Amino acid sequence: MIHTGERPYECPQCGKRFQSSSSLLKNQSIHTDEKPFRCPDCRKGFKHNCTLIRHWCIHTGERPHKCGECGMSFNQRFSLICHQRTHTKERPYECEQCGKSFSDRSNLNRHQNTHAEERPYKCG
């Protein structure tokens, strides 16, 4: 097969174009609430099989992503990448208001609430 870059399959919902009909079908599932892939242990549903496989590590205890620096293992590659920043001191997420930087986006988001008038959490 010659790769021409042509994308003849268009999603009628969002207009995105794809090289294969299977990619179009995968995209179309995001426009519905259908979750056909079920975890055999907890019955949680997922839109994609790869997401189910990643979730299943919770039940099996499998942690295939190992840090070469300290040996810690993680069930998701993303978790390993975030962890590795503790060794490299990398802080790629910077607050646009004050310049403070963070190793992961969730900490940046939490920090940005300190600049807002509105507080998402209240003391009991």
User: What CATH number did the domain enclosing 102 receive?
Assistant: 3.30.160
In a domain, 118, yes or no: yes
In a domain, 101, yes or no: yes
1 pLDDT tier (thresholds 50, 70, 90):
very low
Output the pLDDT for position 119.
61
In a domain, 105, yes or no: yes
In a domain, 110, yes or no: yes
What is the secondary structure of 26-76 as a DSSP string?
A: HHHGGGS----EE-TTT--EESSHHHHHHHHHHHH----EE-TTT--EESS
pLDDT in tens, 44-100: 999 888 889 889 888 999 999 999 999 999 988 989 999 999 999 999 999 999 999
In a domain, 95, yes or no: yes
Q: For the residues 12-24, what does the mean pLDDT come to? A: 90
How many domains does the chain contain in total?
Answer: 1
- Domain containing residue 113: 91-124
In a domain, 113, yes or no: yes
Contact 55, 39 (CB under 8 A): yes
In a domain, 108, yes or no: yes
Contact 75, 67 (CB under 8 A): no
Q: Give the count of alpha carbons within 13 A of 27, CB side only.
A: 16
Contact 38, 44 (CB under 8 A): yes
* Mean residue pLDDT across the chain: 88
In a domain, 23, yes or no: no
| Dist CA 98 CA 6 (whole Å) | 44
